[in-house]
Amino acid sequence: MFFHIVLERNMQLHPRYFGRNLRDNLVSKLMKDVEGTCSGRHGFVVAVTGIENIGKGIIRDGTGFVTFPVKYQCVVFRPFKGEILEAVVTMVNKMGFFAEAGPVQIFVSNHLIPDDMEFQTGDMPNYTTSDGSVKIQKDSEVRLKIIGTRVDATEIFCIGTIKDDFLGVINDPATV
Amino acid sequence: MSVVTDSPAHSSGSDDFISYLNDALDASSPDSSADEEAETQDEFEDVRNKRRKLESTEETEGSTSEGIMEHKLVVAESSVKVDVCTHPGSFGEMCIRCGQKLDGESGVTFGYIHKGLRLHDEEISRLRNTDMKKYLFSKKLYLVLDLDHTLLNTTILGHLSSEELHLLNETDSLEDVSKGSLFKLEHMHMMTKLRPFVRTFLKEASEMFEMYIYTMGDRPYALEMAKLLDPQGEYFNSKVISRDDGTQRHQKGLDIVLGQESAVLILDDTEHAWMKHKNNLILMERYHFFASSCRQFGFNCKSLAETKSDENETDGALAKILEMLKEVHCTFFDKLQGDLVDRDVRQVLSSVRGKILSGCVIIFSRINHGALPTLKRIAEQMGATCLMELDPTVTHVVATDAGTEKSRWAVKEKKFLVHPRWIEAANYFWQKQPEENFVVKKTTNPL
């Protein structure tokens, strides 16, 4: 799920950036620092959308660095248990398949793939139904349900399932 | 505040929803550090209790959106608990079947397939069994291949000897690796030479085997080499195992290979890396193309690169081994009786090996005491009979010196007198070698 929230961060700025462009420098450093990072609480920071407020800077003794408390708006992405996601398959093997939804890595084990789909080896390993009508392979797009999530400092891991109604392949690259 | 305005669940006060979100975030965000695991567990319980209380009060007051959502969440959680899961493995420390958080230390890591993937023994054996049936049906066995000195030879650019510098101008383009065999990997400061015949070898072997790469090199190196050997990714797709993935230091093990041990063959030049799987091992003659590699193993001769030569393409070690692999494969599937599942490739291997020197009766003379037991073991594995005393049935005398009593006896009785290398060569080539190539010279200083 995506959220638009306000977060706060203490930014340390080198004295060489002080001047007319202080604010711009602060914002670009903020974007560089936080976009693409993960926090266990909020998930993956997709983009900074605006600055709410920049507090008074505090000068650090000895270094001359200044710390500014910055409140900013950003879009975050965090998967939840029970959420339905669409993801792109990145790897298929006999254990199941791995898929990605942006920064989120999802594993769907073969226990959670419908029983009528069977693993086929070859240079393009895939899961196929016995009649061959549905095929999951690398680059397929699938709709899946999250049953477990774990957020690390830089990565989000999820366990997914497609063993439920209306889940599975939504777009097969082979047929396009 | 667009969380609130965008949210479909929003019906009552926005503060309620935010507090719900905060609760939910607290509850399901684990702390990544292990020592705080217990603490977060407690917190988790706390939050849930709080939520239950919240829920009951909310429900009496009338249904707010929060109440409904909480209810659903609790239901989802309890349904997972009812279904007793055996936790066949984990991904990012969550069970791959039920999504529950698990203790990260159990099971075997399969980092070479995907980061954070672990499987338990029962799941591994289940996968092996289902796999086995499929592969036996399509007449395939497993083959684990070593990289260095087996399929290729690599040197650091700085270690090239002065006589090898001509190679720098002879490297093949990295654009189309499938045609070349000598590559300079600038970013890794390395130069790699593929062993002659390796492309044909891989192509033909892939029809009989499901192939893995297993190297003592690190992961980036292993992947880079896999790219050179298999640019299309048709042979080693997520089956490249490096030392970072092994379960034991300085040892290679089949525990992380998803194949039944009775169907795996190993091709490697280092015997002691496979202590537990010697019966699966096919020992390779080392391929030394670069001088640095020769020196590393204590050879003082000129390297192949220095003499501008190379192993013979059609007659080299890989070609010989491929023939032998074909024989093993054919014996396993076509000649053995009984159920396919009960067959064991290790027995096939030892029986093929046992035919190499069958009928030879060997006696050793003046062999270094350190080397004798190994030579004797190798000779016996190849089906030869080793005697300690001279006997008219002896066919070969193995000696390092033509002047010994037994050597002179061999010459007089017109028996073969061969150098110990004759045995080693037979072992590498899986074929009895012509004895006249291994004549023993008389040492010049008579005793």
Extents of the domains making up chain B? 2-82, 141-335, 355-438
**Best residue of B39, B75, B237 to probe chain A, by most A CBs closer than 10 Å:** B237
**Best residue of A109, A151, A155 to probe chain B, by most B CBs closer than 10 Å:** A109
Six token digits for residue B241: 């195992």
B27 three-state secondary structure: helix
- Going by CATH, does the domain composed of B141-335 fall within 3.20.20.70? no
Is there a single domain that holds both residue A131 and residue A156? yes
Q: Is A5 on the interface with B (CB under 8 A)?
A: yes
In chain A, DSSP finds a helix count (H) and a strand count (E) of 1, 14
Is B88 close to A148, i.e. CB distance below 8 A? no
At B58 the pLDDT is 44
Residue B20 — very low, low, confident or very high, per pLDDT cuts 50/70/90? Answer: low
User: Which of these three, A77, A107, A141, is where a domain ends?
Assistant: A77
**B133 vs A100: which has the higher pLDDT:** A100
For residues B432-436, give the mean pLDDT.
85
pLDDT at position B37 over 50:
no
Chain A neighbors of B21, CB-CB under 8 A: 3
User: Which of these three, A43, A62, A77, is where a domain ends?
Assistant: A77
pLDDT per residue over B188-222, tens digit each?
898 899 998 999 999 999 999 989 999 998 889 99
Is B2 close to A125, i.e. CB distance below 8 A? no
User: Which of these three, A41, A62, A77, is where a domain ends?
Assistant: A77
Is A80 close to B113, i.e. CB distance below 8 A? no
- Residue window 92-151, chain A: list those with CB within 8 Å of chain B: 93-96, 98, 105, 107, 109, 111-112, 121, 123, 125, 146-151
CATH number at residue A105: 2.40.50.140
Q: What is the chain B residue with the closest CA to A94?
A: B127
Handedness of CA B53, B57, B60, B63 (dihedral sign): negative
At B12 the pLDDT is 46
For residues A8-26, give the mean pLDDT.
91
Is there a single domain that holds both residue A73 and residue A110? no
pLDDT at position A108 over 80:
yes
Spatial contact of B310 and B304, defined as CB atoms under 8 Å apart: yes
Least confident of A33-37, B88-92, B246-250: B246-250
Spatial contact of B24 and A26, defined as CB atoms under 8 Å apart: no
Is B92 close to A112, i.e. CB distance below 8 A? no
pLDDT per residue over A116-142, tens digit each?
998 888 778 899 998 888 899 999 999
Is there a single domain that holds both residue A72 and residue A150? no
Residue A154 — very low, low, confident or very high, per pLDDT cuts 50/70/90? Answer: confident
The single-letter DSSP state of residue B148 is B
Nearest CA of chain B to the CA of A66: how many Å? 29
At A140 the pLDDT is 92
Is there a single domain that holds both residue A26 and residue A98? no
Is B114 close to A94, i.e. CB distance below 8 A? no
Chain B neighbors of A155, CB-CB under 8 A: 92
pLDDT per residue over A77-94, tens digit each?
999 999 999 999 999 988
**B83 vs B312: which has the higher pLDDT:** B312
Q: Is A1 on the interface with B (CB under 8 A)?
A: no
pLDDT at position B76 over 80:
no
Q: Hey, what's the torsion of the CAs at B224, B228, B229, B230, to 10 degrees?
A: 90
Of the candidates B26, B93, B232, which has its C-beta nearest A150's C-beta? Answer: B93
pLDDT per residue over A33-58, tens digit each?
999 888 878 889 999 999 999 999 99
Cα(B107)–Cα(B118) distance, rounded to whole angstroms? Answer: 6
Spatial contact of A89 and A136, defined as CB atoms under 8 Å apart: yes
Is there a single domain that holds both residue A122 and residue A43? no
Question: Within a domain: residue A176?
Answer: no
Is there a single domain that holds both residue A27 and residue A98? no
For residues B145-163, give the mean pLDDT.
89
Residue B434 — very low, low, confident or very high, per pLDDT cuts 50/70/90? Answer: confident
Q: How many interface pairs between A and B have CB atoms less than 8 angstroms apart?
A: 103
Six token digits for residue A48: 């900074």
Tokens 């006060």 found at:
B13
Q: What is the chain A residue with the closest CA to B79?
A: A147
Chain B neighbors of A100, CB-CB under 8 A: none
pLDDT at position B107 over 70:
yes
Highest average pLDDT, of A34-48, B29-43, B303-317, B337-351, comes from: A34-48
Cα(B97)–Cα(B130) distance, rounded to whole angstroms? Answer: 18
Nearest CA of chain A to the CA of B45: how many Å? 17
Continuous segment of H or E residues that includes residue B328: helix B317-330
Nearest CA of chain A to the CA of B8: how many Å? 12
Q: Which positions ≥6 away from B8 have C-beta within 8 Å? A: none
pLDDT per residue over A54-75, tens digit each?
999 999 988 889 999 999 999 9
Question: Within a domain: residue A19?
Answer: yes
Cα(B214)–Cα(B148) distance, rounded to whole angstroms? Answer: 10
pLDDT at position B2 over 50:
no
Burial of B206 (0-12, 13-18, 19+ CB in 10 A): middle
Chain A neighbors of B233, CB-CB under 8 A: 123
A159: left (phi over 0), alpha (psi -120 to 50) or beta: beta
Of the candidates A147, A152, A155, which has its C-beta nearest B98's C-beta? Answer: A147
Is there a single domain that holds both residue A10 and residue A67? yes
Cα(B126)–Cα(B130) distance, rounded to whole angstroms? Answer: 6
Parallel, antiparallel or unpaired: strands B264-268 and B281-283 = parallel
* ipTM value > 0.90: no
Number of CB atoms found within 10 A of residue B217's CB: 18
Cα(A113)–Cα(B106) distance, rounded to whole angstroms? Answer: 24
What is the architecture, at CATH level 2, of domain B355-438? 3-Layer(aba) Sandwich (3.40)
Is A148 close to B95, i.e. CB distance below 8 A? yes
Is B28 close to A149, i.e. CB distance below 8 A? yes
At B165 the pLDDT is 84
Is there a single domain that holds both residue A128 and residue A54? no
At B442 the pLDDT is 67
Chain B neighbors of A93, CB-CB under 8 A: 113, 238
At A79 the pLDDT is 92
pLDDT per residue over B277-297, tens digit each?
888 999 888 888 888 888 888
Is there a single domain that holds both residue A119 and residue A67? no
Residue B83 — very low, low, confident or very high, per pLDDT cuts 50/70/90? Answer: low
By residue range, what is the domain housing residue A49? 2-77
Q: Which positions ≥6 away from B74 have C-beta within 8 Å? A: B51, B52, B55
At B17 the pLDDT is 61
Is there a single domain that holds both residue A105 and residue A144? yes
Nearest CA of chain B to the CA of A40: how many Å? 5
B80 three-state secondary structure: helix
- As for how many domains chain A has, the answer is 2
For residues B34-60, give the mean pLDDT.
48
Is A81 close to B32, i.e. CB distance below 8 A? no
The rounded mean pLDDT for chain A is: 90
**Best residue of B20, B28, B87, B98 to probe chain A, by most A CBs closer than 10 Å:** B28
Is A93 close to B113, i.e. CB distance below 8 A? yes
Is B88 close to A109, i.e. CB distance below 8 A? yes
Q: Which residues pair with B155 in a beta bridge?
A: B191
Is A81 close to B28, i.e. CB distance below 8 A? yes
Is there a single domain that holds both residue A15 and residue A45? yes
Nearest CA of chain A to the CA of B245: how many Å? 17
Are the folds of B141-335 and B355-438 the same?
yes
Is B76 close to A81, i.e. CB distance below 8 A? yes
At B143 the pLDDT is 93
